[in-house]
Structure 1
Amino acid sequence: MAELPAIVATLLPQLGGSIVGFKAAREFDSDWQKKLIRAPWSPPGWVFGPMWTALYSGMGFASYLVWRDGNGFKGPAALPLAAYGTQLALNWAWTPLFFGCHSPKWGLIDISLLDVAVWTTTALFYKVNRNAGHLMIPYISWLAIATSLNYYIYKHNPEEEKEE
């Protein structure tokens, strides 16, 4: 089945994002989260689920295009796919750092590294398949918003002191 690699690549980020999201779901309605001072430009909460579904689909399919056109992990796709894996791990790490650890600071550190990783991945994808690079642009745009939201929360909310 020729479509199977495209389907798997498209669903992989969804799967990881869903697992992380379900594990952190109890934190979404926690007292800590409800008390956060948010940026005035914060989108309503219902936007995040559909947005991440679309972004994960786009980045996943982009990774398939690079894998297909760059001869898998043996050819010129090897470095772009390694960068993709790195940014995906940073993406999945953000929710537990921010919500699970109640740490806007660690969320900001993670998302800042994620920004660099996604820009790098996008540039590397573009060299293998231009459409793959273009599919990453909405992700870059959303990350700019997400980074600004995280920064605002970091600057306007004191870090919680952990009791030992």
Structure 2
Amino acid sequence: MATLADDLDRRPRPRRNWWKIALVTVPAIVIAGSAIGYLSNSGFSNGWYVPLEKPSIQPPGWAFGVVWTTLYTFMGIALALILALPRSPQRRLALTLFAVQLALNFAWSPVFFGAGYIDWAFLLILGMDVLVTATIIAFWPLNRVAALLLVPYLAWLCLATVLNHETGKLNPGADHAPLGITGG
């Protein structure tokens, strides 16, 4: 019967120091995510968003900046851990899934806050939920720490998915391009 030590011995070994890569990936993801949020006027300074009725489980406004900075930091570290591994088909798949979910993540704020498209943003966040789950699964055999660093992100996305849906439901007529999904 294989032991945990045997399992760890079969894992790919990093080909270089992951923390050197993280010196690039962490600031890049934090800065890009923050810039996109700022440029799309996300949050409680947005004139379209402020008057909307919020779900009762909505965290306070200050929590979003703290949480997203932390999550983007975790994402940057997770990415660095995977980038440090030798090239392989599994690594390529994991990086592709990560890149696609990150693209959807960066698209969400402009769609929701910038355009006021509640239903379209809901479809984006559902896609993120699926892709982040797939990314965690793809990261797991490569580096379990990298996979586990994405779990809080998935948990927050689940909350954000509910908030997105409930915002549409509580604010009929607020969606600038309704698809009839959230009721907005």
CA distance 1:27–1:65, shift in 2 (3 Å): closer
Tell me the residue number matched to 2:71: 55
Please give the root-mean-square deviation of Cα atoms over the aligned residues, in Å: 1.9
Structure 1 segment 5-154 matched on structure 2, within 5 A: 5-25=21-41, 28-69=44-85, 71-72=86-87, 75-154=89-168
> Size of the alignment, in residue pairs?
160
Q: Hey, which of these two has a bigger chunk of helix by percent?
A: 1
Q: Larger deviation: 146-155 or 2-11?
A: 2-11
Unaligned runs of 5+ in 2: 1-15, 177-184
Runs of 4+ in 1 over 4 A off after TM superposition: none
Q: CA deviation at 1:4?
A: 2.9
CA distance 1:36–1:161, shift in 2 (3 Å): closer
Between Structure 1 and Structure 2, whose CA radius of gyration is higher? 2
CA distance 1:136–1:30, shift in 2 (3 Å): closer
Distance in 1 separating the partners of 2:41 and 2:160: 18
Alignment deviations for residues 78-106 of structure 1 (CA, whole Å, 9 cap, x no partner): 11001000010000000000011111111
Percent of matched pairs sharing the same residue: 36
CA distance 1:61–1:75, shift in 2 (3 Å): same
Unaligned runs of 5+ in 1: none
Q: CA deviation at 1:29?
A: 2.0
Q: CA deviation at 1:160?
A: 4.1
